[in-house]
Structures are given as structure tokens and as C-alpha cells.
Amino acid sequence: MPRLRLVPRAAWLALLVVLLVGGGIRYHEATHPVPSKELSADARSYTTIAQHLATTGNYAGRNGRLKALHWPPATPQVFALAYGVQSTLGGHDAPRYRDDVRVLHYAQFAISTLTLLVVFVLGWVLAGPWAGVAAAAVLAVYPPAYWGPANLLSEPLGALMVTSALTAVALAWRTRLLAWWGTAGALFGGVLLTRTDLLFVPALLALTALLWLGSTVSWRRGLQSAALLVGLCAVVVLPWTIQASDTAGKLVPVTNGGGSAFFVGTYLPGNGSTYDMKFALLDEIRATYPGKFDDTDYKQIPAELVLNMVARRHPDLPRDEALMKDARQNVVDALGHPVELTGMGVFKLGKMWFRATLGGSSTPMPVVRITHVLLILVAFVGLLFGVLRRRHPGLVAILLTIATATGVHLIAVAHGRYNLPLMPILIAGGASGWALWIEGWRQRRRSRAAASVG
């Protein structure tokens, strides 16, 4: 078990500086937020659901409870909690009006600053305190991460939950205590309620634990660890699944919005992109809505209208099921064009990992984009070293999580901001891999020096 007393005083001081700098930057972002009228559609949905929760206790959006199930519940629940704290401290009901969202930006500030501390712990568990300090320092000044408090999206909470869950997994590997596997499972339940693109990660990590511990310790310990991870994850998610399924009248594991993401992501003529899908369907759109979009740039056509049009091809099915049916046909069609399918996959991979999100800004930021690409490459090399050369199970868990999320977005929609929940663990994994390389290099140099003296 990592011991606090073994962390050098200099590392604690360095961490304090990182938290002050990173927290200060994030506080500035929270106090200079994106105006409410410029928030993205997802952000407006999260705030609307949170306001319904705070005022009525109902998980509902502008179009009722069923529509609200398109979004996972953790972020709206945390925002509703922030409203509750505001009401308690302010002595009045909150929110007081539709655009009363200032407290939500402060909630994002707290979440993203806490993530810096958890990243430090993850790096410390993996490769020592200085690896943790380095990872926290990089994340503190990484613009797409510190822009989080200015927006009201789920990525900051997703980053905190993913980092916390992987920290518990790393502690489970290091200490071999079953309690940490259970903790990891509970935290992964929170991950799934925040980011549905990580739905398969707990099961894959449980399988890894079963096989790895089964072959190195005992199959009993492997089975216990895997069962705790999956079981506690299910315990956390199940109450929401029951509630959401009861509202929808059918099984809803976490959300019911997968059809649109998978239709767009598998639509080969649209290259798996929302904008390109609109362009590919432009003639059908204008024929379906005569006169409405004749002089409208295709990028300005609401995606929801386009997806509604596609769903009406199957009038006997609910919207999400209709889109999922077409998504399955998209896959069949795409498999018949392997070259184009490969090109779409490469495009989406680059879009997810090599296009830094700009926090909602449309202003080109070449320095941010270049820095982002360099960071991805350096961190990934460090992570691969730790996996391939040191066979570090904690780093294997990070790589498996990143690979699984990437694979999901190669099928669904890919976007630059979808890497944000994964950036803290990639940075921590990369810093740890490089720290392990430096440690190995020093050991080899000491060995050569001792051999020459002998």
C-alpha cells in the first residue's frame, strides 16, 4: 500500500503548487463561463434536466421524461445537487430562473480541480509520487481540460469518475486487496452513469483480472476479484436501469439514445460524421422539407430533423429502434466496401484523438492543436513502454480502457471532446511509463558502474 509518509516533502510542495495553479486557472474559467445562449445542445439538456430534478424531483427535459433518457443521469444529478447546496446556503429556492446556472460552473470547477488530485494519486500508485506530480502538472495546464468549468458538459465528471475508477484498479493490482476491486466496481458504476461509451470496460477489466490473477495467484482470487468488480458496478447502475426502463416501458440499460449515434457513425456515405451525413442526405432533406432548407447551408440544418427523417423510413418502429435498424444495415453495406470503411475508420480515429476540442470556440488555435498532438504521442509512447516492456497491470488496464472507448467511437460518432474523459488516465499512464523507463535506465547505469568498479 502506498504510504503518505514516504512521499518526499518536495513532491508535496510541488503538488500544492500544481493544485493552486490548476485550481486558479479553473476558477477563472468558472467565473468567465460560456454565455447560456451559446451553450451546446447537450449542455442545455443537462441543465434543464438538473433544474427539473432540483425543483420537482423528476428526471425530465423540455420534451418530457422519455426524451430526457437520451442523456445519462450522473451529470444532471450532480448539477441538481449543486442547486440543492445553493438553496441551503442561499436561503432561497434554486434555480430561480432558467439561466440561473452560475453554481453549475462552480460545480465544474470543483470536479475538474479534484481530478488533478486524483491524477496525482493514480500516477503515484503506478510509478511513484513524482510521476503523479508530473501527470497532475500536465493536466493542470492542458487547455481542453481547464476549459471544463466554462462549459456545462459531462466530460469533467466523466474524467473524474474514469480516473477514480482506474486508480482503484491500480490499487487493487498493487495491494491485491479484494476491497479495492469492489471499490473499482462501484466507481465504474458511476462511470457508466456518466459516460455510456465505456459500457464494456468493466466487463473487459473483470475478464483481465480473472485471467491474470487466475494464472499468477489463484483462480479463486481471480474469480473473486472479477465478481466484485462486475457485481458492485451492477449494484450502482441497477436502480437507475429499473427507473429508466419503467419510464420507457422497455429495457433501458443507461440511456435510449444509442440509435442516432450508431446511425451517424456507421453511415459510410457520410464518412461517420454528422456534417457529412447532412451533405450526403441533402437532396432527401430538401425533398422531405420542401422550401424550408433550399437556401440553408447543410451544416446549419438541425441534425435532429435529419435523424427524424431517417427514422420515418420505419414508421412501425420507435425512433431509436428505427435508427438502430438502419445502423445495422449501414454496417452490412460498409463491409462490402473495405477500402472506404478503412478510410472512415482512420478519419474517425484522427478526429477523436488528434483534433483537440476548443471548448466550444470556433477560433482556430494552432498552438493548442499542435501541443495536443505532441502530448498524445509522448503519453502514448510512455504508456506502451510500461505495457510492453514492464507488463504493468495498472497500465494494461488504462490501455484497455482507452482502446475500448476508441473502438466504440469507431462504430459510433467520433468527436474531439470524447477524448477528454480519457486524457487524465492517458497522461498519468504516459508519465508513469516514462518514470519506469527512467528508473530502469538509472538502475542499468548503477549496475554498469558497480561492474566497472568490481
Is pLDDT above 80 for 272? Answer: yes
The per-residue pLDDT for range 44-93, each reduced to its tens digit, is 999 999 999 999 999 988 766 768 898 999 999 999 999 999 998 887 77
pLDDT at 362: 67
Q: Which of the 8 DSSP states describes residue 340?
A: H
Q: Which sequence spans correspond to the domains of the chain?
A: 4-33+101-195+200-253+350-453, 258-336
pLDDT of 442 over the 90 cut: no
Question: Are 375 and 427 in contact, with CB atoms under 8 Å apart?
Answer: yes
pLDDT bin (cut points 50, 70, 90) of residue 135 is very high
Count CB-CB contacts under 10 A for residue 337: 12
Three-class DSSP category at 64 = strand
The pLDDT value recorded for residue 73 is: 96
**Cβ-based neighbours of 112, under 8 Å, separated by 6 or more:** 26, 145, 146, 148, 149, 156, 159, 160
- pLDDT of 116 above 90: yes
Task: Give me the pLDDT at residue 316, please.
Answer: 92
155-175 and 178-192 are packed helices; what angle lies between their axes, rounded to 10 degrees?
A: 160
pLDDT for the residue numbered 454: 61
pLDDT, tens digit, 9 for 90 and up, residues 357-412 = 887 776 778 899 999 999 999 999 999 999 998 889 999 999 999 999 999 999 99
- For the residues 92-100, what does the mean pLDDT come to? 83
Residue 285: predicted pLDDT: 93
Mean pLDDT over each residue of the chain, to the nearest integer: 92
CA pair distance 222, 363, nearest whole angstrom:
50
Dist. CA 319–CA 338, nearest whole Å:
29
Residue 99 has pLDDT above 90, yes or no: no
Indicate whether 161 pLDDT > 80.
yes
Which pLDDT does position 114 carry in this prediction?
Answer: 98
Q: Give per-residue pLDDT as tens, 310-360.
A: 999 999 998 889 999 999 999 999 999 999 999 999 999 999 999 888 877
Instruction: Give me the residues paired with residue 61 across strands.
Output: 64
pTM score, two decimals?
0.94
Alpha-carbon distance of 77 to 80, in angstroms, equals 5
| Residue type at position 179 | A
pLDDT band at 294 (very low <50, low <70, confident <90, very high): confident
